[in-house]
């Protein structure tokens, strides 16, 4: 297996171009990387992606033939996109930036987390986020509320963080207990601190040409970063996003479109989703269904990003369960050109993007570049 993530980027790019059967120069977009004053590059994806290339259509042509799908030997094994390694590299660059910030202005970024109830997965996610903050020097605060807390209690905690100048990012760990209105809660969250990027104004700005969101939601941003770091061209490619949740599927579709992919959004009411995915150069699977995407759903040479983290029982594992993705990995790895594993793919990137968004928020708050 070719491992992506250890910066053998040139090889991967040329290999990827071959896999997609095309020789297209990398756009300026993927080269338009974010560099700070010290030349320390944290993300490869641009912080603000513009939709504002002119939409000048070429004259139409009467020449019309179906392109036959390229066949490829099944002996092929996909390159594994190592999200763990890429996330570590990003975290280490964030740590340098936080140190530089502290050195120059005596401040560090701060993240506040509100967690409601005792869900084991939520507790684990929050713990991991706090540890990740500590590792890069981001200050963190956690407010824990009981399962039966009122909406007002959350709103009070949220309002406190909204006005706390040491807090630059706030997140409310989802899912919340059913009696709480997520919409009302995110409406109260200060837009400048919405590091999850779930506010509808932020989503609207992500969707619209000529507008820029303050934050790009972490998981989709992590998916795009994995693609770009793996030298995978997005512009002009056919992308399918499976799932249309507010936190992954929807913003992933909008973000891919900002990168000028042709995006199809597949959801539970899609008939024969495998026909649509089979035509895609890039598949982002975020349905929350274990092994939904089979090998025969994929076009040979497709790039597969698996957002699923579905626990399945496995007595041989330490906690009695293990995580599997939305993609049937063993089958997909024989068809795709590149694939993210579960665990170790998108998961670590989500936290890295949260740290990156928090750093951006603090830089914006202090006008520090």
Closest contact distance (angstroms) between CB of 203 and a copy of itself is: 4
| Cα angle value 93/221/12 (rounded, 5°) | 75
Among 173, 193, 221, 257, the active-site one is 173
**Do residues 183 and 218 make contact, with C-beta atoms less than 8 angstroms apart?**
no
Q: Which entry of 141, 193, 194, 196 is annotated as an active-site residue?
A: 196
**Beta 262-266 vs 310-313: how paired, if at all?**
unpaired
Closer Cβ to a copy of itself, 218 or 266, answer by number:
266
Q: Cβ of residue 350: shortest distance to a copy of itself, in angstroms?
A: 19
* CB closer to a copy of itself, 42 vs 239: 239
Closest contact distance (angstroms) between CB of 245 and a copy of itself is 7
* Residue length of the chain: 369
Residue 45, H or E segment: none
Nearer to a copy of itself, 79 or 234 (CB): 234
* C-alpha to C-alpha distance for 265 and 271, rounded to whole angstroms: 12
Query: What is residue 258's three-state secondary structure?
Result: helix
Q: Is 173 a catalytic residue?
A: yes
Least distance in angstroms from the C-beta of 326 to a copy of itself: 9
User: DSSP E strands: which ranges in 199-341?
Assistant: 238-242, 262-266, 282-285, 303-306, 310-313, 321-324, 338-339
Name the site residues for a copy of itself (rule: CB under 8 A): 51, 53-58, 60, 62, 64, 66-67, 182-183, 199-205, 207-211, 235-236, 238, 243-246, 250, 254, 257, 260, 262-276, 278-279, 287-289, 291-294, 296-297
Question: Would you call 123 a catalytic residue per the annotation?
Answer: no
Angle between helices 83-105 and 346-366 (to 10 degrees): 20
- 262-269 CB contacts, 8 Å cutoff, 24+ apart: 262/236, 262/237, 262/238, 263/239, 264/238, 264/239, 264/240, 265/240, 265/241, 266/240, 266/241, 266/242, 267/242, 267/243
Annotated catalytic residue 196: yes
Closest CB to a copy of itself among residues 112, 286: 286
- Compute the least distance from the CB of residue 17 to a copy of itself, in Å: 15
Q: Which is nearer to a copy of itself, 39 or 66 (CB)?
A: 66
Contacts of 125 (CB under 8 A, 6+ apart): 173
Nearest-approach distance from CB 299 to a copy of itself, in angstroms: 12
Our CB check for a copy of itself shows the closer of 23 and 67 to be 67
From the candidates 16, 129, 141, 326, give the one annotated as an active-site residue. Answer: 129
Q: Which residues are catalytic?
A: 129, 173, 196
């Amino acid at each position: 297996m070719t491992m992506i993530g250890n910066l053998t980027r040139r090889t991967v790019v040329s290999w990827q171009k071959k896999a997609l059967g095309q020789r297209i120069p990398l756009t300026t977009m993927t080269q338009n990387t974010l560099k700070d004053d010290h030349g320390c590059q944290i993300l490869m994806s641009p912080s603000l992606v513009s939709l504002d290339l002119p939409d000048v259509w070429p004259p139409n042509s009467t020449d019309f033939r179906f392109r036959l799908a390229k066949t490829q030997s099944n002996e092929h094994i996909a390159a594994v996109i190592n999200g763990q390694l890429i996330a570590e590299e990003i975290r280490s660059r964030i740590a340098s930036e936080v140190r530089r910030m502290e050195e120059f202005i005596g401040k560090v970024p701060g993240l506040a987390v509100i967690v409601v109830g005792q869900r084991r997965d939520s507790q684990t996610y929050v713990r991991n986020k706090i540890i990740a903050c500590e590792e890069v020097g981001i200050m963190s605060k956690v407010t824990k509320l009981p399962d039966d807390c009122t909406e007002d209690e959350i709103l009070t905690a949220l309002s406190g963080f909204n006005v706390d100048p040491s807090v630059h990012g706030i997140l409310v760990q989802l899912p919340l207990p059913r009696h709480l209105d997520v919409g009302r809660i995110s409406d109260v969250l200060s837009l400048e601190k919405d590091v999850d990027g779930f506010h509808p104004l932020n989503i609207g700005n992500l969707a619209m040409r000529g507008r820029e969101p303050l934050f790009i939601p972490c998981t989709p941003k992590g998916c795009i970063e994995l693609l770009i770091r793996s030298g995978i061209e997005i512009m002009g490619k056919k992308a399918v996003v499976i799932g249309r949740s507010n936190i992954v599927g929807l913003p992933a579709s909008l973000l891919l479109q900002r990168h000028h992919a042709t995006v199809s959004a597949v959801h539970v009411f899609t008939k024969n989703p495998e026909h649509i995915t089979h035509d895609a150069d890039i598949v982002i699977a975020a349905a929350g269904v274990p092994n939904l995407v089979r090998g025969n759903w994929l076009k040979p040479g497709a790039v597969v990003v698996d957002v699923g983290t579905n626990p399945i029982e496995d007595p041989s594992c330490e906690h009695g369960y293990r995580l599997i993705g939305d993609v049937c990995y063993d089958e997909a790895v024989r068809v795709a050109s590149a694939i993210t594993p579960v665990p170790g793919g998108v998961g670590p990137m989500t936290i890295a993007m949260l740290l990156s968004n928090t750093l951006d928020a603090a830089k914006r708050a202090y006008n520090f570049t």
